[in-house]
Chains A and B, each alone.
Chain A
Amino acid sequence: MSDVASGVANVPARGVLPQPGAAAVARLIGPWLALAVAFAVLPAIVTSGSALTMLSMMGIMIVFALSYNMLLGETGLLSFGHAVYYGLGGFLAVHAMNTVIHDALPIPLPAVPLVGGFSGLLFGIIFGSVSTRRAGTAFAMISLGLGELVASSSLILRGFFGGEEGVSTNRTKLLHVFGLNFGPQIQVYYLIAGWCLLCMIAMYALTRTPFGRMCNAVRENPERAQFVGYNPQTIRFIAFSLAGLFAGIAGALTAINFELVNSSEVGAAQSGLVLLAAYIGGIGSFMGPVIGAVLVTWLEVMLSDVTDVWQLYFGLLFIGMVMFAPNGIAGLIMIHAPLWQARAYGPMLRLALAYLVALGPALVLLAGLILIIEMTYHLSVKATEGTTISVFHVTVEAMSVIPWVVAVILVAGGFWLFRMTWPVVGAAWHNAFAEARGAGRAK
């Protein structure tokens, strides 16, 4: 009530728009500045070559996952063939780079992602004009079919796709600007980080425009969007093309990073990966796919070193997310948003403590499950290699009874203890929200 009153009192003179206060501006660009600083500072913490490569891959995946979320999260279009635009962006970028090198054109490397974006936009328009006529399951199936078509034709159109070896290039042979030849990985990292930030800002800005809102409207209720005067098909088409544009940029960045693009970039596996990343991160919020991209890239690179059955853990993680946290990691975080907004720090801390209490048994349960999976794997497939395995740096003899007993105890005990902590967490949750609501009313 008092807000409205003060607002009325502060109405400025006619013809002059109210200027946003300094606080509002800070809130708007603050996070982006912080992100830029974080991107800039990260390589100082991380110095090994492969970690830098992984960071670069994360940057690329962030752009790719965000572009995918423009379709899934914003407009409600589930696509199984988004990698087509990513891969084609990459291919066009490599061919462009090779042409630039061959003809010694004065185009520096940082401009190459524009080619990828253009290619993504072009193919997004071409394929989008037929795909977006339908929505829902039909759209998903068309995207799958198109994806398979492009992936299969990649082995036939050898000239463009480079056959099995793909097309390779050399990023140091383009025009050097500011003395940078982009040979060392750190320079490539900064290039990718810069483009990533740019794309993130652009895509975020898009969600704030009326067009972005209409996408959400089409996702929720296409018929009602029609009543308001917008053609859902046109909205979907534009969203699709723009998503293709950003996917193409991601593809070009990957071409620069690896100096190699081959037909697997347009394949179903790549499409599945970005779907996984966006979904695990959370399709309901803008930052969700970012989290998912980082997590999935990290898992992809690191998990296979730790265990041979990484695909199983991946699948189980995915199923677990779908069943228990369908809004992804971002969704899990966002549930706590009211607490944060009410600035109920005390209750939040107590809630965090309750979570910690529940975490212990959960970890025990997890350890038991991992032990069982690893032992089963070694007993069945690698039996003849000897059944001694190393789990969490503890040597375990998979054939003997003791580890199995331990594992069963861990699982059963962990689950039981975990269940016991649920009331604690429930109570803390209840209290936290009650306090937050109380604080809100008092304000």
Chain B
Amino acid sequence: MISRFSTMLCAVAATVVAALPAAAQDTVRIAYVDPLSGGGASIGEVGLKTFQYLADVTNAHGGIAGHKLEIAAYDNKMSAQETLVQVQKAIDSGIRYVTQGNGSSNAAAIEDFVAKYNDRNPGKEVLFFNYAAVDPILTNEKCSYWHFRWDANSDIKMTALTNYIKTRPNIKKVYLINQDYSFGQSVRKEARAMLNAKRPDIEIVGDEVHPLLKVTDFSPYIAKIKASGADSVITGNWGQDIALLIKAAADAGLQVDWYTYYAGGAGGPTAIKQANLPDRVFEIVEGLSNEPYAPAQEFEKAFRAKVGVTFSPPVSVFYPRAVNEVRMFVKAAEEAKSVEPTKVAAKLDGMKFTVYDGGEGFMRSDDHQFFQPMYIANLGPLGKNQPFDEENTGWGWKMTGKIDTQDTIVPTSCKMNRPS
């Protein structure tokens, strides 16, 4: 019948379009799989431009083991199933390296898929470079030899944060508020456990979870924080959940210190400046450019001039870990004298590296988690020799604490299946 014929016509058309040309042999391509449309696109775009900039810089310095480096963008629309479809498309067009960071659910999907794919297709292995998905599960229960994580996972960040809090006797009453999903739950669980171990004198006066990205009015939560008498708040909130939280705090005139994971995200510094909370909002980061380390400062300046200004408000180097990722990839390929994934993986396994901000880091063999020095930064008016502000607010991130690599180490339950 006519309609069934048209069905088949559609399918045939689809196959024609699906035939993609294979890539040139001398280019190494990394598939960047993150949201490029819809709600998460504003963050996805920043990551994409960052990686593209890093590829340009790498190519200007001779490429990767003699090959050109290219970033291929794939829009996963923030959906785990779509992520798998896009990764499949990337693999079909000959790509052997996938990088992703926004959303641990998508990262878990990729990690699972890559492990199964490599198992079922020996000789065609694919590597997964995770630059921002911080759920600890990815290097614990769900760990895989083919997955490498450059972002300190949320347990590491909490370890670093609580080690910093250990040195601050003025913190006495802590309030926890987090998003009710796996990441938020792990933040509050680890916060409780680690604070209890390192500073048993600190009283945890509140432990709140709220549904993810659904709350539009945080004033009731602010009221509870006020009522509890807390002097510090620890929160893993990101996106609009941190922006609205800070806004509500400013509205109500709440004066506490905020220890956050993601207050520096797009729109964050603007919200903090608007809320007029100088030097009260802290963030745990793996690199910051107002530290006097010349190579990082040069990189930051060049990055802002080329990429930062293409965004409004302008962005800074959000992802020092992406810089580490690409640089270590290049180093591994050069040591292995090959861009073959199995050889690169073998070199990355256990690699030691001088990170973006000076300081030594290493990729732990047991679970492929990268460990590096962490910094506690807070946002406020800049002093001299602090040239970088955020989003044209005039305020920037300044270091208030540094935690050495050795003090960020957490144990792992990973039982990795290594290829023979």
Contact = CB atoms under 8 A, between A and B. Distances in A.
Say whether A and B bind each other: yes
A50 B89 contact: yes
B250 to A, nearest CB: 28
Contacts of B229: none
A174 interface: no
B105 A164 contact: yes
A42 B2 CA distance: 18
A31 interface: yes
Contacts of B19: 48
Contacts of A376: none
B74 to A, nearest CB: 8
Interface string A258-285: 1110101100010000000000000001
Contacts of A34: 4
A329 interface: yes
A172 to B, nearest CB: 8
Nearest to A295: B10
B85 A301 contact: yes
B13 to A, nearest CB: 8
Contact of B14 (A54, A288, A340): A54
A304 B75 contact: yes
A152 B91 CA distance: 34
Q: Pick from B10, B12, B20, B103 the residue with the most CB of A within 10 Å.
A: B10
A156 B84 contact: no
B211 A152 contact: yes
B182 A165 contact: yes
Contacts of A57: 85
Nearest to A287: B3
Interface string A177-193: 00000011000000000
A302 interface: yes
Interface stretch (B108-116, B290-298, B362-370): B108-116
Contacts of A302: 14, 17-18
B95 to A, nearest CB: 11
A166 B105 contact: yes
B38 A50 contact: no
Interface in B16-38: 17-20, 36-38
A355 interface: no
A168 interface: yes
Contact of B77 (A48, A287, A304, A340): A304
Contacts of A165: 104-105, 108-109, 135, 137, 142, 182
Contacts of B85: 50, 53-54, 57, 301
A259 B3 contact: no
A49 B20 CA distance: 11
B12 A298 contact: no
A311 interface: yes
Given A294-B7, A294-B10, A304-B75, A333 B81 contact: no
B15 A51 contact: yes
Chain B contact residues, majority secondary structure? helix
Nearest to A264: B79
A46 B18 contact: yes
Given A45-B15, A54-B18, A291-B10, A164 B84 contact: no
Contacts of A164: 103-105, 135, 181-183
A151 B194 CA distance: 33
B309 A310 contact: no
A417 interface: no
A385 B89 contact: no
Nearest to B78: A264
Contact of B80 (A158, A262, A304, A334): A262
B11 A260 contact: no
B193 interface: no
B180 interface: yes
Contact of A310 (B1, B37, B103, B109): B37
B223 interface: no
B212 interface: yes
Interface in A203-218: none
A163 B92 contact: no
Given A183-B120, A259-B116, A340 B2 contact: yes
A269 to B, nearest CB: 8
B7 A291 contact: yes
Interface in A44-93: 45-46, 48-51, 53-55, 57-58
Contact of B181 (A155, A184, A309): A155
A329 to B, nearest CB: 7
B276 interface: no
Contacts of B79: 264, 269
Interface string B201-222: 0000000000110100000000
Contacts of A55: 11, 14
A252 to B, nearest CB: 14
A143 interface: no
A330 B310 contact: no
B88 interface: yes
Contacts of B13: 298
B6 interface: yes
B8 interface: yes
Contacts of A184: 120
A184 B117 CA distance: 9
A384 interface: yes
A259 B112 contact: yes
Contacts of A384: 309-311
B88 A53 contact: yes
Contacts of A298: 10, 13-14
Nearest to A311: B37
Given A46-B14, A48-B19, A264-B80, 18 more contacts: A48-B92, A54-B85, A55-B14, A163-B182, A164-B181, A166-B108, A166-B109, A260-B108, A265-B81, A287-B7, A294-B7, A295-B10, A298-B10, A301-B89, A309-B37, A310-B37, A311-B38, A333-B3
20 contacts: A46-B14, A48-B18, A54-B18, A55-B14, A156-B180, A163-B182, A165-B109, A166-B80, A166-B108, A183-B120, A254-B81, A259-B112, A260-B80, A260-B81, A298-B14, A302-B14, A309-B37, A329-B6, A384-B311, A385-B310
Interface of A: 31, 34-35, 38, 42, 45-46, 48-51, 53-55, 57-58, 152, 155-156, 158, 163-166, 168, 170, 172, 183-184, 254, 258-260, 262, 264-265, 269, 285, 287-288, 290-291, 294-295, 298, 300-302, 304-305, 308-311, 329-330, 333-334, 336, 340, 384-385
What are the 8 closest A-B residue pairs judged by CB atoms, nearest first?
A51-B18, A384-B310, A287-B3, A46-B15, A165-B108, A50-B89, A163-B182, A50-B88
